[in-house]
Amino acid sequence: MADSGERGARVRFPPPLVYLLAVLAGLAAGNWVAAAPVPIDRTLRIAVGVLLAAAGVALAASARIHFLRTGQNVIPWTPTPELIFEGPYKFTRNPMYVGMTLLTIGLGVALNNLWMSLFALPALLIVHAIAVLPEEKYLSEKFGDGYRIYLTRVRRYL
């Protein structure tokens, strides 16, 4: 396939690394600042954490499968050949980021590290600024009214 020269969204930092940094920051805070256990029964905590993490992985994996089926690259700075309106994209415009947020929260709960779960929100806010907003601008410019109608019908996150 020839390179058309088209650029994707102006995302400069890989969003998954933001979530990895949140997990590492949670581990560091729990070890060096103060332990912050999740205040629920151990068995329930592990079950809830695993369920949240699994839901996050399933959501992100489902979105990735839809990308692969349509020949798209998950790397946000590559061109988007078409919009996806199926699967998780019916109820969230950002299933991969929602999935990574749920995974981070779930890991924190399962590992009894409240810091890690709490750092999921700043991670999402950072991803919102560095990836979601540039992606929305790019998609709006590229797909026009079709994307703008989608914006009115489907929530950004949940």
- For residue 136, the enclosing domain spans 43-153
- Segment 90-116 shows an average pLDDT of 97
User: Is there a domain that residue 88 lies in?
Assistant: yes
In a domain, 52, yes or no: yes
CB-count burial class (<10 Å; 0-12, 13-18, 19+) for 20: middle
| Residue percentage of the chain with pLDDT more than 70 | 97
pLDDT score at 5: 63
In a domain, 133, yes or no: yes
User: Does 5 fall in a domain?
Assistant: no
At 4, the pLDDT band (50, 70, 90 cuts) reads low
Residue 31 counted as domain residue = no
Query: For the whole model, what pTM was predicted?
Result: 0.93
pLDDT at 2 over 70: no
Per the structure, the count of domains in the chain is 1
Report CA-CA distances (Å) from 89 to 37, 52, 59, 61, 140: 34, 19, 10, 12, 16
Task: Please tell me the number of Cα atoms within 13 Å of 2 on its side-chain side.
Answer: 1
- State whether residue 83 is helix, strand or coil: coil
25 within some domain: no
The reply to whether 47 falls in a domain is yes
Mean pLDDT of 13-19: 97
User: Is residue 12 in a domain?
Assistant: no
